[in-house]
Amino acid sequence: MGNHFIFSDLIKRYSVDFTLLIPSEEGSYDDLGEWVPPKPTKSDERGAIVPLQSQLVYQSGGRLTSMDRQLFIKNEIPLKAQVIFDGATFDVEAMTPYGTYADFNSYILKAVINSDGLQQHNTNSLGTD
């Protein structure tokens, strides 16, 4: 298998708790024929969530901001999932798979911004309890 770098101890040292919301593909219709949107699957996870490097923000041409984050985790997370961390909501936007030569994956977490230009903070359980 060649060189395989082990980063799990380092990631574990800097890991924090966060909530992962994985969107469901299927909605349904209720008894009155009204569409009921799917509820996301909610799970508690741990990973290292860090601010983006200034160079990455600069090179993105304005697409990424200082409010966005990078997640390092052993598990695979589907794109379009959401991460709730420290009261803020982030969309899982991009993945860099390091699995060929290391034991983790890296994800770009894009901050969810409301219509006022402020970072959206999660204040409810999204009905997933």
| Predicted pLDDT of residue 28 | 86
**Is the pLDDT assigned to residue 124 strictly greater than 60?**
no
**Is the pLDDT assigned to residue 2 strictly greater than 70?**
no
Query: Could you give all domains of the chain from N- to C-terminal order, each with its CATH number?
Result: 8-23+36-111 (2.40.10.270)
Per-residue pLDDT tens for 49-98?
A: 999 888 787 777 778 888 999 999 999 999 999 999 998 999 999 999 88
Q: What is the pTM of this model?
A: 0.78
Q: Are strands 35-36 and 28-29 parallel, antiparallel or unpaired?
A: antiparallel
| Predicted pLDDT of residue 127 | 47
- The angle at the Cα of 50, spanning 45 to 52, to the nearest 5 degrees, equals 135
